[in-house]
Homo-oligomer: A and B are copies of this chain.
C-alpha cells in the first residue's frame, strides 16, 4: 500500500492551531517558519497527493513576514494571525488563479477575493494556496478535475472524496493546519471522513458564499476543514463573524438521537458499530434510536436532486450549449441529466424543503443532537464507480452522498469528526444540531 500517513506526514499532521497560536505569541516560532514548513511539506508530499493546484510561495511568505511584524508591534488580529490556510479552488482569490477545477476557467484569475477569503486576510491568516476541487464542485469523488485526481494520504490509490478533495487531503497529510471547503451535498464532510479530518458544514447562510462559484444556490455552504474541532471552531468564527459559545454553556445531560444509516442505504457493519461505540464514549451518553426517520428519506433525496440539478444547470446552461467538450465527461453527463428537471418539480422541491425544515425543527424538540456515520463506506479506489455494501451493489456517488446530503437540504449544521479507522482507512462520525446552533455544536463536540 502506497501511503503518506501515518509514517511520513507533513509538518502540521495532527497539530493544533490553538497550540500554534500560543507558541507564536510566546515567540517560540514565527509565521514565516510555519509558512516555510507548509511550503516544505507541500514540496515533499504534494507530488504524491495532488492536493494543491496552486501555491503562492512568495506571496505567502510576504504575508507571513507582515504577520510576524504586526504581532511583534502588538497588532494581534486574532487566533488565526500568522496561520497558513489553504483555500478550495472554487473560491475566488485575487492573487492566485482560480480554475473552479475546470478547463472552462483554466486561465481565470478573479479580480477580487471571495468574502470568506477577505475575512481570513483581515484575521491575519496566511493564504497559502488553492486546493483541488472536483470540477465545479459537482461530484463527491474528488477525482475529476482540470488538475486530475487528489490522492488519499492513507492510501494513495484511494480517492479523497470530494468535492473539497484537496482541502481535506492537505489538512489530513499535515501540509496545512486549516483549509476552507464548500459543501452542497456533503463536499466538506465526505472528504473529511475519508481522509480523517474534522469537517464542518455550518447552518445555511451562516457563512457568505459571495465569490464562491455557485453549484446550487439553495444548498451551497462554506466551512472549515481542520485537525481538531477547536481549530474548526476558530476558522468558523472568522468565516461567519459569529462569536464562539461561552465555555460554561455546554449542557451535561444531552439527549442524543441515533439515526440508523440504513434509513438511507446499506452501511458497512464495521463502520456502523465503530461509529456508534465511539459516539457513546465521546458523549458518555446513551444514544436513543430516532424512530420513523426513514419516512423522511424519499423526500430528502428527491428534494436534493431537484434543487441541485436545476440550480446547477442554471449556472452552466450557456457553457453546455457553447463548449460542452470542455467539461469533464462525467460532469457533462450529470449536467445533461440536470437539464431535464421540470420547473414544477423544482417548485415542489422548494415547498418540500420548507416542510422538511419544519419536520427537523419538530424532531429537535426531542433531541439535542443527532448522531450517525458520515459515510457508509471507507475510501473507494480512485476511479471506482460501483461499490458493494453488505452484499448490495451501489454507485460510489450515491454511497458517498447518502448520509450527508439530508443536512444540506435542511440547512442544519453538521460536523464530521474522525472515529478511528477500519481496515486502515479513516471513518467519520457525523453530528447534527438544530438550525443556527453552530457555535453550540462546535462547543459540545469539542
Which A residues fall within an 8 A CB radius of B? Answer: 217, 306, 309-314, 317, 338-348, 351
Give Cα A340 to B343, complex, Å. 8
Docked complex Cα distance between A176 and B99 (Å): 65
The chain B residue with its CB closest to the CB of A313 is B344
Q: Which residues of B contact A343 (CB under 8 A)?
A: 306, 309-311, 313-314, 341-343, 345-346
Expressed in whole angstroms, the Cα–Cα distance for A342 and B345 within the complex equals: 9
Given contact pairs A306-B343, A309-B343, a sample of 5 additional A-B residue pairs in the complex whose CB atoms are under 8 Å apart: A310-B343, A314-B344, A314-B345, A314-B348, A317-B344
Q: How far apart are the CA atoms of A347 and B340 in the complex, in Å? A: 13
| A311 near B341: Cβ-Cβ < 8 Å | no
> Quick one: which of B217, B312, B341 contacts A342, CB cutoff 8 A?
B341
Closest Cβ neighbor of A218 among chain B residues: B347
A308's closest neighbor in chain B, by CB? B343
Question: How far apart sit A345 and B314, CA to CA, in the bound complex (Å)?
Answer: 7
- Contacting pair A310 B341 (CB below 8 A): no
- Contact among B339, B347, B348 for A344, CB-based, below 8 A: B339
Distance from A297 Cβ to chain B, minimum over Cβ atoms (Å): 21
Name A307's closest neighbour in chain B (CB-CB): B343
**Which residues of the other chain, B, contact A338 by a CB distance below 8 angstroms?**
344
Whole-angstrom distance between the Cβ of A219 and the nearest chain B Cβ: 12
Chain A interface, >50% SS class? helix
Residues of B within 8 A of A342 (CB): 310, 313, 339-343
A75 to chain B, nearest CB (A): 39
Q: Would you give the shortest CB distance from A73 to chain B, in whole angstroms?
A: 44
For the complex, give the distance between the alpha carbons of A85 and B351 in Å: 33
Residues of B within 8 A of A344 (CB): 310-314, 317, 338-339, 341
Could you tell me the distance in whole angstroms from the C-beta of A337 to the nearest C-beta in chain B?
Answer: 11
**A310: contacting residue among B217, B309, B313, B347, CB under 8 A:** B347
How far is A11 from B361 in the complex, measured between Cα atoms in Å?
Answer: 54
Q: Which of A313, A340, A342, A343 has the largest count of B CB atoms less than 10 A from its CB? A: A343
Chain B residue, CB-CB nearest to A317: B344
A343 — nearest CB in chain B belongs to which residue? Answer: B310
Complex-state Cα separation, A338 to B346, whole angstroms: 13
Which chain B residues lie closer than 8 Å to A346 at the CB level?
310, 343, 346-347
In the complex, what residues of B have CB within 8 A of residue A351's CB?
Answer: 314
Closest to A312 in B: B344
- A-B pairs with beta carbons under 8 Å apart, 15 shown: A309-B343, A310-B344, A310-B346, A311-B343, A311-B347, A312-B344, A313-B344, A314-B344, A314-B345, A314-B347, A314-B348, A317-B348, A339-B344, A342-B342, A343-B346
A317–B338 Cα distance when bound, in Å, is 20
User: A314 to chain B: which residues have CB within 8 Å?
Assistant: 343-345, 347-348, 351
| Inter-chain contacts of A217 with B (CB < 8 A) | 347
Distance of A344 Cα from B215 Cα, bound (Å): 12
A345 cross-chain contacts in B, Cβ below 8 A:
314, 343
Report Cα–Cα, A331/B348, bound state, in Å.
21
A248 to chain B, nearest CB (A): 42
Residue numbers in B under 8 Å from A339 (CB-CB) = 342, 344
Contacts of A310 in B (CB 8 A): 342-344, 346-347
| Nearest-Cβ distance from residue A418 to partner chain B, whole angstroms | 37
- Whole-angstrom CA separation of A201 from B312 in the bound complex: 35
Chain B residues in 8 Å Cβ range of A317: 344, 348
Q: Which residues of B contact A306 (CB under 8 A)?
A: 343
> Which of A310, A341, A351 lies at the interface centre, i.e. has the most chain B CB atoms within 10 A of its CB?
A310
Nearest chain B CB to A221 CB, angstrom units: 18
Q: Shortest CB–CB separation between residue A245 and chain B, in angstroms?
A: 35
